[in-house]
Structure 1
Amino acid sequence: MDTTAVVLAIVSVVSGKVCLLTALWLRLRWRTKHEQVQRQHLTEVSRSIAGSDQAEVVEQRPDGHSLRITITRSPGEKSAA
């Protein structure tokens, strides 16, 4: 093999690995932000439940679907605080 072929092979292998690592990093970054939003949402819901005997959560999704959850606390339950 001549030097051009060797250099081309090395460059293609390295660039493939760099693209793969970049894709994995972007996916990890997206997943982290998604989990932070979920955690914030769950924290807000749990705080609203702790302050009263009933909480209602209404979630509107971008695709047009909606989800409504009503949570009530039984009279015998104590708060977790």
Structure 2
Amino acid sequence: MTYWWASKLNPTLLVAYNPGKHGEGGTCMLKPSIKWYITPQLYTDLRLQAFMGDSEASNGFSAGIKTASEATLRVGYEW
């Protein structure tokens, strides 16, 4: 996570990996996002999520993920 362009862009990259246990396959989640502050209060936020691996694994974060991938676009105001 860092800030670019005079603190107007905030890119973030989250990578999670679970190797599995007892013969189950590993799972991996990539979640890049970027937040753009149009003004000090108004922002847009784009988030992507990609899930790869064994979706039937009984441990880790794989049980809570319903879809293989998704994209989210938000517009918000912070005061």
Q: Is the strand fraction higher in 1 or 2?
A: 2
Q: Is the helix fraction higher in 1 or 2?
A: 1
Identify which of structures 1 and 2 has the higher relative contact order when contacts are C-alpha pairs closer than 8 Å and 6+ apart.
Answer: 2
What's the TM-score, normalizing by structure 1? 0.30
What's the TM-score, normalizing by structure 2? 0.31
Is the radius of gyration larger for structure 1 or structure 2?
1
